[in-house]
Chains A and B, each alone.
Chain A
Amino acid sequence: MGNAHKAAANVNAATDTTPGAGGSPLSSPTTPHEQPPRSTIWGVAGAIAWRGVHTYVRRPELSIPSLVFPLIFLASFAGGLSALGSVPGFDFPAGYTAFQFVFVLLQASMFSGLFTGFTIAFDFESGFARRLMLAAGNRRGVALGYALVALTRATITLTVVTGVALLAGMQITGDGVDMFGLYGLAALLVLVGFGWAAGVAFRFRTIQAGPLMQTPVFLILFLAPVFVPLPLLRGWIHAVASVNPATAFLDSGRGLISGVHNHTALAYVCAVALICVFTLWTLRGLRAAERAG
């Protein structure tokens, strides 16, 4: 049994109060020289990730909406707005489907992180997260474990979305390295979305904080050049989109899929900076949750 499975067993045992359920985590079978897996950050993270992914796969009411929403966006934007590809001044080498695919990909990435924030909030409401904090030797592993859940969820969603887009005839004019860069950016945005949502979830510890997790991300994404490139936007939205970091993400992603790089370095720098900020936000939230008991 690997460390993650051992730690999962410990966490489950610690949280299961039924008679004969396996006893206390203190009675976990470890030798005096072996550090209990639940006390290492990766042991705790692995246990939480295993449980989170297991729950996600086993419960269609969790997995289906996170798969269906990006597909609806892709169908609605790439299918319903394809005429925008012939607007004067619109010149994107890979076509309108690829143009919108990048938005859907990056949006789905951030929302995979957000939905994991919902899971944390739900776990606090049900009392599971509090028991988990008692059982975990290293509580930073709790946050890390949920981050791994977010990345795994995103991997499933992005695979499905990419498959559907390719079946719908999406063109990719970038090369393999460009695509690696695109999915690397998507992975960073999963962590950005997760960092924000986890910080909120640890502070409020209720699912009612859901709108606070979603609404700012939703607004930031839609205040970027979603439907047409930045030069075709007019008025206030052009001014807002020009300073919105989501514009750099979209420009970079579209540049990578088409092979015509645009703001790639800026997007990566913004994403890494946001991850640093939201890591602090999450860890401080975790401390707030610890103080709350």
Chain B
Amino acid sequence: MSPSLITQVGALAQRSVLKTLRQPFQMFPIIFFPAILLIINASGLHAATLLPGFPTHSYVSFAIAVAFIQGAMFSLINTGTNLAEDIETGFFNRLALTPLRRVSLIAGLLVGVAALGAMQSAVYILLGVVVGAHLDAGLGGALVVIVLGSLTALAFSSFGCVAALRTGSSEAVQGLFPLFFVFIFLSSSNLPRSLLKTPWFHTVATWNPISYLIEGFRSLYIFGWDKTALLRGFGVAIGLLVLGLLAVQWAMRTRLQRT
């Protein structure tokens, strides 16, 4: 990477981070909603720990994995909305007319997202400590959670960028939120897959990649170092990121042709 590219990406990453941090209405759902859902579900579903085969006695340790995925979903919406607003206001077009390299237009945004993803993962770890979740993998596990959280936010956000580049409308990006949220609902978010007794739901959750991401985070909290769960979790995050970046490249080409 040439120094000029690093400078360009760094400047746009800094803008991306500051733009989110300076808008409380973007930070509020990232922190508030996962926290409130964790607290409510951990209490409301505590009875699930009485089921034979449930892997832990602490439902909050089981459920906290979902907070990281919800946070990544909010990153998707925020990133897509910010990029769409840049397109709507003409800022993106003006950037495209400058000598900036095309790759840095999106790379800067995504580097900022990765940084925010790491920050929000650290916040969720602290939240877990406050509400009594036990991280079995210890301090090393916390670092892996932050890396996986950042990677997941990055992967999801690339799809937010695709939506923004294709539609150029922040309203359309916001409208996609429920669609992405369905993937969390139809996964092993509330019970382990072995306890999903409804056959069709078990099949959907098994095919749903979000289940493996959740199980990656969850393994560090409940089992310590489970190589299989971690490999699957990182595999899904990296796979989604590669797919997302390919889709971004395609969407960028179309968007810049229009420009």
Residues in A lying within 8 Å of B, measured CB to CB:
61, 65, 68-69, 72-73, 75-76, 78-84, 86-90, 219, 222-223, 225-228, 232-237
Can you give 26 A-B contacts (C-beta < 8 A)?
A61-B175, A72-B185, A72-B186, A75-B201, A78-B198, A79-B196, A80-B185, A80-B190, A81-B191, A82-B201, A83-B195, A84-B51, A87-B47, A89-B47, A219-B36, A223-B40, A225-B44, A227-B44, A227-B45, A227-B48, A228-B45, A228-B47, A233-B44, A233-B47, A237-B43, A237-B44
A79-B200, A82-B197 given; A222·B185 CB < 8 A = no
A75 to B203, CA, bound (A): 13
- Asked whether, in the complex, the Cβ of A65 is within 8 Å of the Cβ of B178, the reply is yes
Interface string of B194-211 (1 = CB under 8 A from A): 011110110001000000
A226 and B44 within 8 A (CB)? yes
A236–B43 touching, CB < 8 Å: yes
A73 to B182, CA, bound (A): 9
Expressed in whole angstroms, the Cα–Cα distance for A86 and B52 within the complex equals 10
* Contact present for A72 and B195 (CB under 8 Å): no
By a CB distance below 8 angstroms, the chain B residues around A237 are 40, 43-44
What residues on B are CB-neighbors of A69 within 8 Å?
178
A90 and B175 CA atoms in complex are apart in Å by 38
Contact B186 A232 (CB under 8 A): no
Using Cβ atoms and an 8 Å threshold, which residues of chain A touch B46? 233-235
- Cα of A236 to Cα of B182 in the assembled complex, Å: 29
Counting CB contacts under 8 A, is B1 at the interface?
no
Give Cα distance in the complex from A35 to B182, angstroms: 51
Contact A75 B40 (CB under 8 A): no
B50/A88 in contact, CB under 8 A: yes
Q: Secondary structure of the A side of the interface? A: helix
Closest to A85 in B: B197
Task: Return the chain B residue nearest A241 by Cβ.
Answer: B44
* Cβ contact within 8 Å between A68 and B44: no
B190 touches A81 (CB 8 A): yes
Q: With the chains together, A228 CA to B201 CA distance in Å?
A: 19
* 6 tightest A-B CB contacts, nearest first: A237-B43, A79-B201, A76-B185, A79-B198, A232-B47, A83-B195
Residue from B40, B44, B178, B191 with most neighbouring chain A CB atoms (10 Å):
B44
Say which residue of B36, B197, B200 sits within 8 Å of A83 (CB atoms): B197
For A73, what are the chain B residues with a Cβ–Cβ distance below 8 Å? 185
